A and B are shown apart, each in its own frame.
Chain A
Amino acid sequence: MRRSQVQARINGADIDFLCEPRQSLLEVLRDELGLTGTKEGCANGNCGACSVMLNGRIVNSCCVLGVEAEGAEVTTIEGVAHGDQLHPLQQAFLEEAALQCGICTPGFIIGAKALLDREPNADEQRIRHWLAGNLCRCTGYDKIIRAVLRAEEHMQEATKA
């Protein structure tokens, strides 16, 4: 199948790639660009493991075609930390033991970051509502919710300081 050339800004870098029209953005990220931090859990938009930011909106990258990324800005889990400086959400997930197997973790961190970027005071119920599209089978969600609340606190303190 003929491949199309696509230009996108991925994690802050301008990137050209070739992809088949039938390839999803998830496939492109993982198979063409080596960004395997974005995970496939279901490939039909029901688990959130493949969550990425596309032009400031959170999407399931399995439900977006690679060619749709033309001219777009994409942020994946690989673009969340600044060098060795972890994002407060990443730090909180570690400190709260909010991951067990870790396969859903990138999706949860991308999803939670999208929420906290726009609603820095989200309460537990709002966080639960926002993250209801991300499945985790290991934790029962308790420690994930606590980690997001803790990250929120840290981010608020950092803003005040």
Chain B
Amino acid sequence: MTTIEKPTYTIIGTRPIRPDGVEKVTGKAQYGADIRLPGMIFGRVLRSPHAHARIRSIDTSAAESFPGVLAVLTHADFPVAADRVEELGETAVNLKELSENILAAGKALYRGHAIAAVAAANPHVAEEALKLIKVDYELLPPVTDVRDAMREDAPLLNENRYTKELGGAKSDKPSNIASHVQFQSGDIAAAFADADHVVEREFTTKMVHQGYIEPQNSTASWNSDGTLVIWTSTQGAFSVRAQLSEILKMPVARIKVVPMEIGGGFGGKLPIYLDPVAALLSKKSGHPVKVVMNRTEVFEGTGPTSGTYIKLKAAEKGGKLTAIEATLAYEAGAYPGSSVGAGAMCMLSPYNIENFKIDGYDVVVNKPKTAAYRAPGAPASAFATESVLDELAKAAKIDPLQFRLQNSAHEGTRMVTGVPFPRIGHEEVVEAALNSAHYRSPIEGPYRGRGVASGFWFNAGMQSSVVVSVNTDGTVNLTEGSTDIGGTRASLAMQLGETLGIPYDTIKPTVVDTDSIGHNDVTGGSRTTFASGMAVYEAGMDVQREMLKRASKLLNAPETDLVYEHGGVHVVSDPAKKMSFKEIAAQSARTGGPINGKGSVLARGAGAAYGTHIVDVEVDPDTGKVTILRYTAVQDVGTAIHPAYVEGQIQGGAVQGIGWALNEEYYYDDTGRMANSSFLDYRMPTTLDVPLIDTILVEVPNPGHPYGVRGVGEVPIVPPLAAVANAIADATGHRFTDLPISPRRVVEELHGLG
């Protein structure tokens, strides 16, 4: 459905088959773990069995002399890393902490923390050798819950860490609270005093994992000339190269990162884990080394997203949302850097609220260092906001979508940071939800209910480079450097086809290594179709300009009398004189050489994304099972370049959110051991757990992009947590404030057990 008039496109909005599709359905596509090099050996990583321990010593001698072992590595082999913060796509990391997370130095800060690595002729030998490494641990008490970690008497992960307070001040005493952020405006006290209704609730969510099906992997070849080649599964080859350059203290140009096909990321494949390990094992052994994680290592050793505690108080007067006061505490994992800031900035963004005060705390705990996970920070804070909004709407006797509509943010509304929104589409999205067949249908029957919720995500711009090479037969090579996780080769080739007016299937997009194209930021922040799309548009316009020059010679007309249109050039004063793209391309050798176009952007103007979800559930009060009966996700997508992949992003995000709401959690025992580090016990949604997910694409074009593109990938995970909780509240009359709303929790809370 379209709510805004948009230009007529030829290719944009169609659903062609993706260029990399055949390789992926026939098993020929090469993912990271599929690479095999001559002389290649295999690395394995020894991980801490303890959640918190001082490492007194590591004795690797027995492992080193084990037959078949070719190299052993510990943190002592790393150069000393700089103690400074570097931006890595959607998250920033301290390089010293990154280095110590890759191989522990001094302390093991979580179960699964990498301690040492072995390379051997085969992975089984490497695994056996790990058992011969003797680590002398001094056990320390672990702290795994965010509220426990904030207590004054909590065990400290780092005795030298002080809280970064507002305005850069430092706390008096060491603390697990790494930083405190605050956003406020207006007068909340007056608004609460004057309110018709006030609701105050406390919410918790558990640590959850991105759950990509492909485990992390890295293959390295350290060459005798001191250059390094890395084949890896990453959301950003250039980011891997930058991190490696810092960790290994090597010039950037001596490192080549070859991005292999990636089996899912969702933010979790932004940080590096194995790449420096594989590199140094290769340097020490003289062989190419491949290291692949197993699933338990992925759960215990790579970044999930934060468990959270959120306290939220909200007020309503005459149907208007008048005040919000919130405290957010997010688990960062073993090192600072949770997504609490983004959570705080996103939680009120669908609405226009004058009075608010939000405090956010970034807290270290003895669990894996968190990484970005799809709209990082926003789902948990939206769970709190949207749950409370539902209660306020009910108290005010207003339809929950109507309540959201009449309080909606729009162009000019200020974010909590004070920055006014450009053209945004939340109102259009809520209106589409109100008018949807789903929302207009009745929901009846015992223990059945309906819930709605909205969500917001900023979307990112950042840097992209592409090169377009025109071949003499009229086909085109599009060389790009953005990891294709879910169809961006298609969405970029489509934008190039639209820009040049040439058929989609004449364009061959290729994602190349870091030696072969200029810098590209990560595939994250829903930025690739938007920002790399802008680079593609620029490169296309560059080709158009060159085509005009060539046509000027061929048509014997001044460039000022020529126009590029519909895949060719014609003379304005004599339209019968014209040449097609293909004809001009064929003559390129005689008119000035190869025709190439270049696009290089620092993309501004990323358009914010909004989604509103509707879900019907049925709750079995005896077993606690929650069945999703029907689900509709409405989203402002700007312009849907390839609608099928846009729908797919929305459906995938919604189902990840359903898993977060109902089943997924890192379950810890008292010793700080994750008790469910397998896909059997960490319960992600299966085909049986969800229905078909209906999508409604609302298109409010982003004025900051030539084709109106908004990022679409992240926001769909924001609304489901609250939408599901609101539906369960509607079905049962009971408000669940702790996730996951697992069968056990449902039974315990409905029957007053627990």
**A24-41: which residues lie under 8 A (CB-CB) from chain B?**
30-31, 34-41
Q: Roughly how many angstroms separate A143 CA and B20 CA in the complex, as a whole number? A: 17
Q: With A97-B648, A100-B487, A143-B648 as given contacts, are A128 and B687 in contact (CB-CB < 8 Å)? A: yes
Q: With A102-B263, A140-B693 as given contacts, are A40 and B687 in contact (CB-CB < 8 Å)? A: no
Q: Roughly how many angstroms separate A161 CA and B244 CA in the complex, as a whole number? A: 58
> How many residues of chain A have a CB within 8 Å of chain B?
61
Residues of chain B with a CB closer than 8 A to A44's CB: 295, 678-680
**Residue from the list B26, B644, B652 in contact with A138, Cβ < 8 A:** B652
The digit string for A31-75, where 1 denotes a CB below 8 A from any CB of B, is 100111111111110110100000000000000000000000000
B266 within 8 A of A: yes
User: Chain A nearest CB: distance from B590 CB in Å?
Assistant: 37
Q: Check A135–B679 contact: CB distance below 8 A.
A: yes
Q: Roughly how many angstroms separate A107 CA and B494 CA in the complex, as a whole number? A: 29
B752 within 8 A of A: no
User: Chain B nearest CB: distance from A138 CB in Å?
Assistant: 5
The digit string for A106-148, where 1 denotes a CB below 8 A from any CB of B, is 1001000000000000001001110111111111111111100
Q: With A36-B34, A135-B684 as given contacts, are A41 and B27 in contact (CB-CB < 8 Å)? A: no
Stretch at the interface among B212-220, B248-256, B320-328: B212-220
**Residue from the list A43, A93, A105, A144 in contact with B295, Cβ < 8 A:** A43
Q: Check B654–A140 contact: CB distance below 8 A.
A: yes
A99 within 8 A of B: yes
Residues of chain A with a CB closer than 8 A to B34's CB: 30, 36
Q: Roughly how many angstroms separate A40 CA and B679 CA in the complex, as a whole number? A: 13
**Residue from the list B26, B642, B693 in contact with A80, Cβ < 8 A:** B26
Q: Check A78–B654 contact: CB distance below 8 A.
A: no
B301 within 8 A of A: no
Residues of chain A with a CB closer than 8 A to B678's CB: 42, 44, 46
A95 within 8 A of B: yes
Q: Check A94–B18 contact: CB distance below 8 A.
A: yes
When C-beta atoms are compared, the residue in chain A nearest to B294 turns out to be: A43
Q: Check A46–B688 contact: CB distance below 8 A.
A: no
Q: Roughly how many angstroms separate A81 CA and B679 CA in the complex, as a whole number? A: 30
Q: Check A137–B33 contact: CB distance below 8 A.
A: no
Q: Check B651–A139 contact: CB distance below 8 A.
A: yes
Q: Check B212–A140 contact: CB distance below 8 A.
A: no
Q: Roughly how many angstroms separate A98 CA and B486 CA in the complex, as a whole number? A: 10
Q: Check B680–A100 contact: CB distance below 8 A.
A: no
Q: Roughly how many angstroms separate A23 CA and B645 CA in the complex, as a whole number? A: 38
Residues of chain A with a CB closer than 8 A to B649's CB: 100
Residues of chain B with a CB closer than 8 A to A90's CB: 22, 25-26
Q: Check B17–A41 contact: CB distance below 8 A.
A: no
Q: Roughly how many angstroms separate A132 CA and B211 CA in the complex, as a whole number? A: 16
A103 within 8 A of B: yes
Contact-residue size bin, chain B (C-beta under 8 Å from the other chain):
35 or more
When C-beta atoms are compared, the residue in chain B nearest to A141 turns out to be: B687
When C-beta atoms are compared, the residue in chain A nearest to B653 turns out to be: A140
Q: Roughly how many angstroms separate A140 CA and B689 CA in the complex, as a whole number? A: 10
Residues of chain B with a CB closer than 8 A to A101's CB: 212-214, 261-265, 485-486
Q: Roughly how many angstroms separate A97 CA and B488 CA in the complex, as a whole number? A: 12
Q: Roughly how many angstroms separate A127 CA and B27 CA in the complex, as a whole number? A: 22
Q: Check B26–A37 contact: CB distance below 8 A.
A: yes
Q: Check A100–B213 contact: CB distance below 8 A.
A: no
Residues of chain B with a CB closer than 8 A to A144's CB: 687
B170 within 8 A of A: no
**Residue from the list B213, B655, B687 in contact with A47, Cβ < 8 A:** B213
Q: Check A132–B679 contact: CB distance below 8 A.
A: no
Q: Check B687–A134 contact: CB distance below 8 A.
A: yes
Q: Roughly how many angstroms separate A49 CA and B727 CA in the complex, as a whole number? A: 33
When C-beta atoms are compared, the residue in chain A nearest to B658 turns out to be: A140
Q: Check A40–B680 contact: CB distance below 8 A.
A: no
Residues of chain A with a CB closer than 8 A to B17's CB: 94-95
B586 within 8 A of A: no
User: Chain B nearest CB: distance from A50 CB in Å?
Assistant: 11
B420 within 8 A of A: no
Q: With A101-B262, A132-B687, A145-B687 as given contacts, are A47 and B679 in contact (CB-CB < 8 Å)? A: yes
When C-beta atoms are compared, the residue in chain B nearest to A125 turns out to be: B688
**B685-707: which residues lie under 8 A (CB-CB) from chain A?**
685-688, 690, 692-693
B15 within 8 A of A: yes
Q: Roughly how many angstroms separate A109 CA and B266 CA in the complex, as a whole number? A: 23
When C-beta atoms are compared, the residue in chain B nearest to A47 turns out to be: B679
When C-beta atoms are compared, the residue in chain A nearest to B261 turns out to be: A102
User: Chain A nearest CB: distance from B626 CB in Å?
Assistant: 17
Q: With A37-B28, A40-B215, A44-B295 as given contacts, are A20 and B124 in contact (CB-CB < 8 Å)? A: yes
Q: Check B652–A100 contact: CB distance below 8 A.
A: yes
**Residue from the list A22, A40, A78, A102 in contact with B124, Cβ < 8 A:** A22
Q: Check B486–A138 contact: CB distance below 8 A.
A: yes
User: Chain A nearest CB: distance from B120 CB in Å?
Assistant: 12
When C-beta atoms are compared, the residue in chain B nearest to A80 turns out to be: B26
Q: Check B25–A142 contact: CB distance below 8 A.
A: no
Q: Roughly how many angstroms separate A82 CA and B85 CA in the complex, as a whole number? A: 53
A10 within 8 A of B: no
User: Chain A nearest CB: distance from B655 CB in Å?
Assistant: 3
B21 within 8 A of A: yes
Q: Check A142–B651 contact: CB distance below 8 A.
A: yes
A77 within 8 A of B: yes
Q: With A40-B33, A44-B295, A46-B678 as given contacts, are A103 and B213 in contact (CB-CB < 8 Å)? A: yes
Q: Roughly how many angstroms separate A125 CA and B14 CA in the complex, as a whole number? A: 30
B144 within 8 A of A: no
Q: Roughly how many angstroms separate A131 CA and B266 CA in the complex, as a whole number? A: 23
When C-beta atoms are compared, the residue in chain A nearest to B292 turns out to be: A40
Q: Check A142–B693 contact: CB distance below 8 A.
A: yes
Q: Check A97–B688 contact: CB distance below 8 A.
A: no
Q: Roughly how many angstroms separate A36 CA and B690 CA in the complex, as a whole number? A: 30
Q: Check B263–A37 contact: CB distance below 8 A.
A: no
B36 within 8 A of A: yes
B31 within 8 A of A: yes
Q: Roughly how many angstroms separate A30 CA and B213 CA in the complex, as a whole number? A: 17
A15 within 8 A of B: no
The digit string for B47-70, where 1 denotes a CB below 8 A from any CB of A, is 000000000000000000000000
Q: With A128-B688, A132-B686 as given contacts, are A42 and B263 in contact (CB-CB < 8 Å)? A: no
B656 within 8 A of A: yes
Residues of chain B with a CB closer than 8 A to A132's CB: 686-688
**Residue from the list B215, B485, B679, B692 in contact with A46, Cβ < 8 A:** B679
Q: With A134-B687, A137-B656 as given contacts, are A78 and B21 in contact (CB-CB < 8 Å)? A: no
Q: With A41-B215, A42-B295, A103-B264 as given contacts, are A36 and B25 in contact (CB-CB < 8 Å)? A: no
B223 within 8 A of A: no
Q: Roughly how many angstroms separate A75 CA and B218 CA in the complex, as a whole number? A: 28
Q: Check A102–B651 contact: CB distance below 8 A.
A: no
B171 within 8 A of A: no
Q: Check B263–A39 contact: CB distance below 8 A.
A: yes
B24 within 8 A of A: yes
Q: Roughly how many angstroms separate A76 CA and B27 CA in the complex, as a whole number? A: 9
When C-beta atoms are compared, the residue in chain A nearest to B34 turns out to be: A36
Taking A100-B652, A139-B651, A141-B690 as given, write out 14 further A-B residue pairs in contact, using a Cβ cutoff of 8 Å, ordered by the A residue number. A44-B295, A76-B27, A93-B25, A97-B15, A97-B645, A100-B487, A102-B20, A102-B29, A109-B25, A135-B686, A138-B264, A140-B653, A141-B685, A142-B692
Q: Which 5 A-B pairs have the closest CB atoms?
A: A37-B27, A103-B263, A140-B655, A100-B486, A77-B27
17 A–B contacts, CB within 8 A, in A order: A30-B34, A36-B30, A37-B28, A44-B678, A46-B680, A78-B26, A86-B26, A90-B25, A101-B261, A102-B29, A103-B263, A134-B687, A135-B213, A137-B212, A137-B684, A139-B648, A140-B648
